[in-house]
Amino acid sequence: YEELISYADKDLSNPDIYNEFCSIVDINSMLDYYATQIYIGNADWWLTKNTRIWRVRTPENDSYGDGRWRWMFYDMEYSSSLYDQEETAYNFDSFTRAMTKDKLFASVMRNADFRTEFIRKIQRLSENNFSPGHVTSMISVYERIYKPYMSNYYKRFGDTSWAWDSYISSINHFFANRATYITKYIISKIPDNTRLKWVREEIGRREQEKKNPRRRFIDEVRPGQNRSVYSNEKPLLNTAFQFCLL
């Protein structure tokens, strides 16, 4: 663990040092974790608080047995406008907050390859897992699961049933507006060369999607709204939605 944290003080823009870092870290796991935490605006998390990471000490013969560090989600409810706080609002700059509070993340963001992949993860989350239509659908699923048990919850912890609908409305409102703001904050703070590289790749990706009959855009982009995409790809982080109703 101390070896991992030591990279917060190393120059990860150097390809050799970054390759060393990749040898002890599952980069895709790190990208998924940080992109999700920043996208949902979790205000109760950074490197030394509410973070869980793991690795096997003895290598095993499976995809997770290589001994590299991986991240797990933990304690995520203070996010997504759930409590109508400014620091969890859809227009709050949680990217800058993460860069300030988490030295390891700030260090790895100096690497051009990581930056490009991070932007791509944010884009995928906005179009798939956290698209407004998908969020609304998943909240409805969890509402049907948990609502029958809420009467017992209110008896034990106090009746807050008055907040149920307003909290669900706040979460839906957050994801309906989040993509525009968080993308703007990230793009405005990264070097121009990464921005240009990502734009070129994004144009190429969308051209390929037009040719692939299994993927299709279903909503036109309108001012202040996000684009919803249905895809043949399986969502990466469906379980991240469950925190919304717990």
User: What is the DSSP pairing of strand 216-217 with strand 52-54?
Assistant: unpaired
List the one residue out of 102, 77, 97 whose CA is nearest residue 174: 77
Q: Give the pLDDT of residue 145.
A: 95
Q: Give the pLDDT of residue 244.
A: 33
Q: Give the pLDDT of residue 84.
A: 84
Q: How far apart are CA 171 and CA 245, in angstroms?
A: 10
Which residue shows structure tokens 């406008």? Answer: 81
Positions in the chain whose pLDDT score sits under 50: 213-246
